[in-house]
């Protein structure tokens, strides 16, 4: 008695379908996430954040305030051990996030 319930699946089609889904997902995600015209300056590439890099980021944030920028500045202050400055930047980021909603 042959039953189609126990038929062997075609695994090649499953693999081909999975690859097509991955490629389509990668294309759609790449199209949706493009860098904006205003990008934050790179700071601390070698792992050490200098005072001049922090000053450059602070100056940029004065001209273009953003919640993401203040979060990044807070992270750099925290890495340096300046927790009071980090909390101040977090408060600025929270205010900007509330304003944008």
What integer pLDDT is reported at residue 90 of this predicted model? 93
Rounded to whole angstroms, how far apart are CA atoms 88 and 39?
22
Q: Residue ranges of the domains in the chain?
A: 51-100
- Which positions ≥6 away from 64 have C-beta within 8 Å? 38
pLDDT single digits (tens) 30-84: 666 555 545 666 665 556 778 888 899 999 999 999 999 999 999 989 888 889 9
């Amino acid at each position: 008695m042959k039953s189609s319930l126990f038929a062997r699946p075609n695994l090649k089609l499953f693999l081909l379908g999975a690859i097509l889904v991955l490629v389509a997902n990668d294309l759609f995600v790449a199209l949706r996430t493009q860098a904006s015209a205003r990008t934050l300056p790179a700071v601390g590439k070698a792992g050490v954040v200098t005072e001049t890099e922090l000053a450059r980021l602070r100056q940029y944030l004065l001209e273009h305030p953003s919640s993401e920028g203040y979060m990044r500045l807070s992270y750099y202050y925290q890495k340096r051990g300046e927790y009071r400055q980090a909390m101040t930047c977090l408060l600025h980021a929270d205010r900007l996030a509330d304003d944008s909603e």
